[in-house]
Amino acid sequence: MTTTTSTTPARPAARRPEPRARGRLTPTQRILLRAVLLTLLAVAATFVLDPYRNYQLAVVAATFCATAGLTLLVGLTGQLSLGHAVLMAAGGYGYALAANAAAGAGLDGDGPAGVARVVLGLGGALVASGAVGGLLGLAGARLRGPYLAGLTLAMVVALPALTTQVPALGGDQGLAVPFEGVPQALSRLIVVEQWHAWLAIAVAALAVTPLALLRSGRAGLRMRAVHGDETAARLAGVSPGRVKVGAFVASSLAAGLGGAVLCLVTQSIGPGRYDLAFSLLLVVAAVVGGLGSLGGAAAGAALVVLLPWLVDTVTAAVGVPADLEQRLSGNLAVLVFGALLIVVTLAWPGGLARAVARRPRPRPRPQPRGRTDAPATPPQPSER
């Protein structure tokens, strides 16, 4: 009697996902932890800066919000916007209208009332900039290349005419906003400029951290897919129109918060501050810093704010004649920006962020021929 054995191979067991090691942070947790540490570091830096430097830090934080949104929009989706200053203006006007309405309703003074007024103003900035950004995003989903850039450029040019046609926006003079003083509990510790710097840093963290999460998540992958090939993205189930509109809205919200911070710090909002030159400087800051890099956006924002001040300081120290200094006022900074853009584009096409990421690493020292890395075997004692 013979027995037969089955020769059917056993199915391999399904591979279970390896559990995450204890103590290892997820990408989202790393981004949040980095945001908290950088925010605390920036707040600590305000204690070693004088009032004017704290004012400059607040302006840098406001500009950082706009450049971060712009670098995400252009670097990840390829939508070129030359009118991000309009989105900052929308946020500034939204903040001014909401803050003035809150002050008229009884939320005046410092302390909890002042904090509530700032929160309501930021909400108004988000609503106004989100609405404008949504309309531009719908148009951007249908326009490509220079057509979208021309549309946003036209909005910057039309901003002064729009403000004169709407009486609630204050015309060419703009609107004034309530002064935000230091709360009573902190009045003995910090001054007004430092308090404004704290508010600007906190708002910048709230504006940029969602962009970092968006960039590192699935939404960022969809943006890169649409930027690479819209047809292939559509075949993969990604809607290019939705991705473009979402990117434009996210970028607009960040820029609107930047405009709100700038309005809070300067205590006014007017169309003259958001002209074509300022809008182009935002693009230069994003390109010099590195498209798609939030760290590069921070470096570009610092250049936009500090480079004109540095040029004026050097010009005054050199002792340029008064008539020549008057003619160079404002124009020399633009010339330096143009030269810097050319140098960075030629030396590091990816911007300053790419230049830092591609630092040359030390090469290993070559070993002489015939030499091996195996340890030498000690001589064994001979047996007698």
Q: Is the pTM of this model over 0.85?
A: no
Can you tell me whether residue 268 is helix, strand or coil? Answer: strand
Structure confidence at residue 213 as a pLDDT band (50, 70, 90)? very high
What's the one-letter identity of residue 34? R
Contacts of residue 117, Cβ cutoff 8 Å, sequence gap at least 6: 99, 102, 103, 107, 108, 178, 180
Name the residue with higher pLDDT: 315 or 123: 123
Burial of 175 (0-12, 13-18, 19+ CB in 10 A): buried
Q: CA-CA-CA-CA torsion for 233, 287, 83, 99, nearest 10 degrees?
A: 100
**First and final C-alpha spacing in the chain:** 63
Output 89 or 359, whichever has higher pLDDT: 89
Mean pLDDT of 268-292: 86
Task: Find the radius of gyration of the CA atoms of the chain.
Answer: 27
Angle at 148 between CA 142 and CA 149, to 5 degrees: 170
pLDDT top residue among 73 and 372: 73
